[in-house]
Chains A and B, each alone.
Chain A
Amino acid sequence: MGIRTLLAMLVVALVVIGALATQESYKVFMPGLLQGAVLTIEIAILGSLLAIVMGVLAALARMYGPAPLRWLATVYVEIFRGTSALVQLFWLFFVLPQFGVTLNAFLVAVLALGLNVGAYGSEVVRGAIQSVARGQWEACTALNMSRPQMLRRIILPQAFVAMIPPWGNLFIELLKSTALVSLITLSDLAFKAQQMNQNTFKTIPIFTLVLLMYLAMSLVVTIGMRLLERRASLGLARGKAA
């Protein structure tokens, strides 16, 4: 879908949210929903940062690390990709305290979602590094570059461009899975929606508004990543343009 269509969708979503929010009967639950949205955004941003760090570390460990580090990274990726985000969230929330590690719910949320998406991200990083043409590696060897030099100057800048679209998808996945944290007592947007629903019984407007709010947040991420992709690929002649 083109960036113009996405922008149009975002504008429509924001106008509808605005039009609904200013109505008298919506004043009851709008502040609560906005509070929830702020927590959702906080968790999404911190989770994304953790996911990027874990994704890059795990990918590099699996590709270039010594054997024990490689196994550790593989086990991490397989466990977090193989089980559900909700299971991981519950495990950290309910089981970790039994080992004497009690984290508050917010920290558990950021950790679980960041580690979950980071595991998927490491595959993205790995794939992008491997997708850089072989000739580039060979040229680096021919120029007698060291491994860190190759990665930093030649390979990673090219891999970075290839990584942007899949990371965009992962950030959307992470944003959507923040709704799960409502199940471990955090009062995010999904939690506020249920709370307001139980208080006011205005089920249809509340859930419609909440869906539109998530849609608006996702569209902001998608559009941002599209712009970043356009910028990052400017310097590189890729594919057909070459």
Chain B
Amino acid sequence: MIWDWAFAFEILPVLARAAIVSIEATLIGFALAASLGLVLAVVRIAVPWTGWTISVLVELIRSTPLLIQIFFLYFVFPKFGVVLDAFTAGVLAIGIHYAAYCSEVYRAGFDNIHRGQWEASVALNLSAWTTFRDIIIPQAIPPIVPALGNYLVALFKETPLLSAIAVLELMQTAKIIGSETFRYTEPMTLVGLFFLAMSLVSAALIRSLEGLLNRRTMR
């Protein structure tokens, strides 16, 4: 028998519990990516000589595999005396990886702000901090929310990589069920269906959010 419904229903609660870990990793990872990405983008503009360093850093992070970065944090940091548990190391790696992508999105948002807005801020003698907080960020963020949303979905789809350092998320749990019962069809397919469902729902949400934001900013 290729597909066993009884077995599928039996493992469903176990997988559902593991899905919570995947979602936790996504939310913490994305919070890190979104905030660190913003910091990188702001520092690049506000602090004169950092532009080049940050672009090389972003290029380095975007050009190397996330899996190796996860291994790097998990295996190399202990050699410097920083021992991270698997979940922390994995989420940190995912967060930093996506911060590099997010910083480019923020940068595009800042680039789209009219030059006159910056000049007006200088003319009004606003500090760099006030300019960003009150003038630039409120105008730059809403148009890029959908792009950030896409990275949230992409980040979510990377969480199975955490199984490589034995974090008990969805994929790792499915692998354990598979190796214990010698049935891979149901757990692997259910994991695939779960990701598919989450992706389709979030894609629909992002699309409606995009429509909402477009309507708000249309003048």
Which residues of A187-220 are within 8 A (CB) of B? 190, 193-194, 197, 203-204, 207, 210-211, 214-215, 218-219
Contact of B157 with A179 in the complex, beta carbons under 8 Å: no
Are B160 and A86 touching (Cβ within 8 A)?
Answer: yes
Q: Mark B137-162, 1 if CB is under 8 A from A, else 0.
A: 00000000000000000000111110
* Cα-based distance from A144 to B71 in the complex (angstroms): 59
Tell me whether A95 is interfacial, beta carbon within 8 Å: yes
A207 to B76: give the CA distance in the assembly, Å.
8
**Chain A's nearest CB lies how many Å from the CB of B180?**
13
Given contacts A1-B59, A95-B185, A203-B76, contact A190 B67 (CB under 8 A): yes
Chain A residues in the interface with B (C-beta under 8 A): 1, 5-6, 9, 78-79, 81-88, 90-91, 94-95, 98-99, 172, 176-180, 182-183, 190, 193-194, 197, 203-204, 207, 210-211, 214-215, 218-219, 222
- Complex Cα distance, B191 from A82, in Å, reads 12
Check if B196 sits within 8 Å of A203, measured CB to CB.
no
CA distance A87 to B184 in the complex (A): 12
**B residues within 8 A CB of A183?**
163-164
Q: A176 to B101, alpha carbons, bound, how many Å?
A: 15
Closest residue of chain A to B197 (Cβ to Cβ) is A82
What total of chain B residues lie within 8 Å of the partner, measured CB to CB? Answer: 40
What are 19 sample pairs from A and B whose C-beta atoms fall under 8 A apart?
A: A5-B56, A6-B59, A82-B195, A87-B160, A87-B195, A90-B171, A94-B184, A95-B185, A95-B189, A183-B163, A183-B164, A190-B67, A203-B76, A203-B79, A210-B68, A211-B68, A214-B63, A215-B64, A219-B63
Q: How far is the CA of A211 from the CA of B65 in the complex (A)?
A: 8
Q: Give residues in B with beta carbon < 8 Å to A.
A: 2, 55-56, 59-60, 62-69, 71-72, 75-76, 79, 157-161, 163-164, 171, 174-175, 178, 184-185, 188-189, 191-192, 195-196, 199-200, 203
Q: Is the CB of A211 within 8 A of B199?
A: no
B192 touches A91 (CB 8 A): yes
Across-interface contacts of B178 in A (CB, < 8 A): 94
| Identity of the chain B residue whose Cβ is nearest the Cβ of A180 in the assembled complex | B67
In the bound complex, residues from chain B placing their C-beta under 8 Å from that of A215 are 60, 63-64
Q: Which of chain A's residues have a CB closer than 8 A to the CB of B68? A: 179, 190, 193, 207, 210-211, 214
Return the contact of B75 from the options A78, A99, A197 (Cβ within 8 A): A197
In the assembled complex, the Cα of A222 lies from the Cα of B58 at a distance in Å of 14
Question: Do the beta carbons of B63 and A83 come within 8 Å of each other?
Answer: no
Contact A177 B55 (CB under 8 A): no
**Max chain B Cβ within 10 angstroms of own Cβ: one of A87, A176, A178, A210:** A87
Q: Is the CB of B191 within 8 A of A87?
A: yes
Contact B192 A78 (CB under 8 A): no
Bound state CA distance, A125 and B51, in angstroms? 33
Per the bound structure, the CA–CA distance linking A82 and B60 in Å amounts to: 27
Q: 10 smallest A-B Cβ distances: which pairs? A: A218-B63, A94-B184, A179-B65, A82-B199, A82-B196, A179-B67, A176-B65, A86-B160, A83-B195, A84-B157
Bound CA–CA A194/B72 (angstroms) = 10
Q: Are B64 and A91 in contact (CB under 8 A)?
A: no
A83-B192, A207-B72, A207-B75 are known contacts. Are A218 and B199 too (CB-CB below 8 A)?
Answer: no
Evaluate contact between B55 and A1: CB separation under 8 angstroms: yes
B120 to chain A, nearest CB (A): 28
Contact of B76 among A5, A178, A204 (CB under 8 A): A204
